[in-house]
Homo-oligomer: A and B are copies of this chain.
Amino acid sequence: MGAAISSDMIGDHLERLRERRPLVHNITNFVVMNWTANVLLALGASPAMVHAPEEVEEFTAISAALVVNIGTLDHSWVASMSLAARKAVATGIPWVLDPVGAGATALRTRTTLDLLALAPNVLRGNAGEIMAVAGAAGHMPKGVDATVASAHAVDSARNLGRASSAVIAVTGAVDYVIGADRGIALAGGSPMSQLVTGTGCAATACVGAFLGIERDALLATVSALAVLKAAAAMAAPLAQGPGSFQTALLDALHRVSPDDLARHVAIEAV
């Protein structure tokens, strides 16, 4: 059922990421561009945000991974996302899709399905988004934050994983990473993450960074989510509220160690 997943393996991924500083091409939303870039820098990756149709393919081709996030989509951005995704697949560059707000509007659901057909290596969303994409329910997420416990979306994730070739990640208080032949649950982190905008988007960006140094998409995804959960757990006791939590989270991402991973994140098969 694949390689054993331990904090040592994740620590090795993290060390490799910090050494290689993978260039991560982000086509993402206006709300989180600065935050995502700072998360990727704190983690040890090299972020770039590039969206013009004239250059996205050229830029994807020199990147280690591509992140596509539909948070503030419009038709011209969707065209660029599609160009970049096709280029990524054609050149063997891994990519991850974040279907922000899927289910909330027809445009978001349709765009997600269109992009999912371009074979992302990973799809990461909250429970409401994953359930909406899977068509598991007529479920309508409230805004773009998770209001359904991630566990409720595991069946949707399995169905979606079988119908596509993507690893499906459902994040929340517990994160689930569902691959073709195995599933992993990660517990830990902090409920304060819900008080900062773009922690889900940051998770997707970190998945992109780990895809840039590890081609097993399930392992890369588990590593990314484990590092974020550890950093959140380290940041929470230092925070007086959502503002200082955000600051402490960036600080913690920069210093997460294999020991921290072992201490703060519980990983098990599901």
Which A residues lie at the B interface, using CB under 8 A?
21, 23, 29-35, 37-38, 41-42, 46-55, 58-59, 62, 71-76, 101, 104-108, 140, 142-145, 194-198, 239-244, 246-255
Within the complex, the shortest CB–CB distance from A3 to chain B, in Å, comes to: 30
**A21: which B residues are within 8 A, CB to CB?**
142
Q: Are A196 and B41 in contact (CB under 8 A)?
A: yes
Residues of B within 8 A of A58 (CB): 105-107
The residue on B at minimum CB distance from A197 is B37
Using Cβ atoms and an 8 Å threshold, which residues of chain B touch A52? 72-75, 107
From known contacts A30-B30, A106-B58, infer whether A71 and B49 are also in contact, taking CB-CB under 8 Å: yes
A37 and B31 contacting across the interface, CB-CB below 8 Å: yes
Copies in the complex: 3
Query: Chain B residues with Cβ under 8 A from A54's Cβ?
Result: 74-75, 107
Within the assembled complex, what's the spacing in Å between the Cα atoms of A75 and B53?
9
**Alpha-carbon gap, A239 to B240, bound state (A):** 13
**Contacts A41-B195, A42-B242 given; does A108 touch B55 at CB 8 Å:** yes
A142: which of B23, B33, B107, B247 is its contact (CB, 8 Å)?
Answer: B23
Other-chain contact of A107, B41, B55, B249 (Cβ < 8 Å): B55
A247 contacts B252, CB within 8 Å? no
CB neighbours (8 Å) of A108 from chain B are 55
19 CB < 8 A contacts A-B: A21-B142, A31-B33, A31-B37, A32-B34, A33-B34, A34-B34, A38-B196, A38-B242, A42-B242, A47-B197, A50-B105, A52-B72, A52-B107, A54-B74, A55-B107, A59-B104, A243-B246, A243-B248, A243-B251
